[in-house]
Amino acid sequence: MKMMMTLLALTVMAAPASAAPVEEAGIASLSADLSAGRTTSVRAVRAYLKRIAAMDRRGPRLNSIITLNPDALKQAAALDAERRAGLVRGPLHGVPILLKDNIEAAGMPTTAGSLALARNDNGRDAPVAASLKAAGAIILGKANMSEWANFRSTRSMSGWSGMGGLTRNPYALDRTTCGSSSGSGAAIAAGFAPAAIGTETNGSIICPSSLMGLVGLKPTVGLVPRTHIVPISQSQDTAGPMARDVRDAAILLSVLIASDPADPATADAKAHAHDYAAALDPAAIKGMRIGVMRGIEQPALVALYDAALARLTALGAILVDVEKPDMDAMRAASGTVLNAEFKTDLNAYLASTDPARVESRTLADLIAFNSAHAPREMPLFGQELFEKAQAGAGAADPAYAEARDKAKRLAGPEGIDAMLAARKLDLLLALSYGPAWISDTLYGDNYSGPRGLTSPAAIAGYPHLTVPMGQMRGLPVGLSFIGAAYDEQRLLNVGYAFEQAQGLKLRPDFRATADAGPELEAAQP
């Protein structure tokens, strides 16, 4: 009897500790649990599917997921078998990841939120999806998004699509998720997967990440292939990671980088490929000269921002105030570019789809489809941007090339590059956005708060990282780090140093509305 009790005690002692709850797991932590035998990919997938079933269409009804991968459990079982056989492809092996629903993955439709693309499964993977699968990731499903990446109407409402309805912010259900990577942000904040891939043309990774307490990285345009991603603009479009922490974003970036013959912008991408997570160095912040954007008016946001600046100074950064660049001219030029490229690039994408599954073959067809299905497609806003793009000549417009060159010059060499060079700076710093505003079904997005340097970074095609900085009235607020082209490692190093020193762990509580209590909740240095 004594021997049996001793053996039982030894067995209990030898049993692996329990895995972290899935709603708290990131890529690195879930990968560690899988490696230690504390869980399996099948168990993790089942747990995420159960949580999605309970909270996405029921309970708080976040509406963050459009499609789930019907083969997710089968793929998880195969990856578990590989692990048991000693084959582990890397930190993403057996880890579920969500894709924004403008990124193709075989076996699931890619809708861009539109009913016109409800059957758009071409049996092909975007290079982004292919890279994730090759690294062992499980594509758990496709996330809801602002329909057509917020490029259908001048009065669009972030987070709404005809396919998925309105995505809700898990920090306050009546507040916006921003967009257009709305579902990607809401799903990760809610614990439906460890991380997601979003896309950005101007703010669509950074804004949802900032408003929902995530780390979001918009890479340099040309670092990540865009093939088989529903486009807006070849000049500004990119995919990028949305994750719980900087390390997870670095892990994803390392996998996503690739040169793709079908995307000439990525010709030099391989030259910048390395293990960004292994290269994380929080000590690199010491002595860095960081240009600081001011001009915030709300006292609570100023206090939150000042606390972050004090922490960066304590970490050894040298902070230098800089003036905000003139954004009106670059935005106007960028608007001309997006209007032209959208028509040309979208028509090319539609032509590449299966005509048996996608009846709308051109932008003109989509406009007609929306008009014919107006009660479902246009109950809240119209399609003014579609109509404006269709009325133009696309990339054949004589004004297009001049506007493209002007936008890039004003945002890049005469914008961010000039700001860095003038004061011998390593990178720039700004508030990402203010806290989430109330979702407005009548007037659409109506935000007039701070936007930092989102537009210059997007128009120049330069990298932009947002990291959670604190909360205001229970709503997350992010801190932005912006650099020159291909400065991702530098941004990640500084963001990692700040994140580790901050020690901030944000978790949503799915409240109906934001706190009416104390305005400021920040980790003080």
- What pLDDT was estimated at residue 485? 99
- What pLDDT was estimated at residue 12? 36
Three-class secondary structure assignment of 79-142: HHHHHHCCCCCCCCCCCEEEEECCECECCECCCCCCHHHCCCCCCCCCHHHHHHHHCCCEEEEE
- What pLDDT was estimated at residue 521? 52
- What pLDDT was estimated at residue 518? 55
Cβ–Cβ contacts within 10 Å for residue 471, how many? Answer: 23
- What pLDDT was estimated at residue 449? 77
Contacts with 153 (C-beta within 8 Å, 6 or more apart), sequence order: 381, 382, 383, 384, 385, 386, 444
- Is there a cis peptide before residue 146, judged by omega within 30 degrees of 0? no
pTM here is 0.95
Cβ–Cβ contacts within 10 Å for residue 198, how many? Answer: 34
User: Does residue 100 carry a catalytic annotation?
Assistant: yes
Check: CB of residue 146 under 8 Å from CB of residue 180.
yes
- What pLDDT was estimated at residue 16? 55
User: Does residue 286 carry a catalytic annotation?
Assistant: no
User: Does residue 270 carry a catalytic annotation?
Assistant: no
**CA–CA separation, 482 vs 291, rounded Å?**
10
Cβ–Cβ contacts within 10 Å for residue 355, how many? Answer: 10
How many alpha carbons lie under 13 Å from residue 507 in its C-beta half-sphere?
9
Tokens representing residue 317 in the block: 């950064």
User: At 35, which amino acid appears?
Assistant: S
- What pLDDT was estimated at residue 2? 42
**CA–CA separation, 243 vs 248, rounded Å?**
6
**CA–CA separation, 383 vs 375, rounded Å?**
13
Tokens representing residue 183 in the block: 């579902």
- What pLDDT was estimated at residue 360? 99
Cβ–Cβ contacts within 10 Å for residue 424, how many? Answer: 9
- What pLDDT was estimated at residue 7? 36
In the chain, helix, strand, coil percent, each to 5? 40, 15, 45
**CA–CA separation, 102 vs 91, rounded Å?**
25
Block residue for tokens 């340099």: 220
| From 31, 41, 64, 100, active-site residue | 100
Question: Which is nearest to 168 in space by CA: 218, 198, 208?
Answer: 208
User: Residue 398 CA to chain centroid, in angstroms?
Assistant: 34
Angle at 180 between CA 174 and CA 186, to 5 degrees: 50
Architecture of domain 46-327+406-521: Alpha-Beta Complex (3.90)
How many contiguous H segments (helices) and E segments (strands) does the chain have?
A: 17, 14
Q: Residues 171, 174, 179, 180: is their CA dihedral positive or negative?
A: positive
| From 204, 209, 235, 259, active-site residue | 204
Sort 86 into a burial class: Cβ within 10 Å, 0-12 / 13-18 / 19+. exposed
Q: Residues 356, 357, 359, 360: is their CA dihedral positive or negative?
A: negative
**CA–CA separation, 513 vs 161, rounded Å?**
22
Check: CB of residue 507 under 8 Å from CB of residue 476.
no
- What pLDDT was estimated at residue 525? 36
Ranges of the chain with pLDDT below 70: 1-17, 517-525
E strands, 269-374, are: 289-293, 318-322
| From 156, 158, 180, 233, active-site residue | 180
Strands 464-472 and 318-322: unpaired
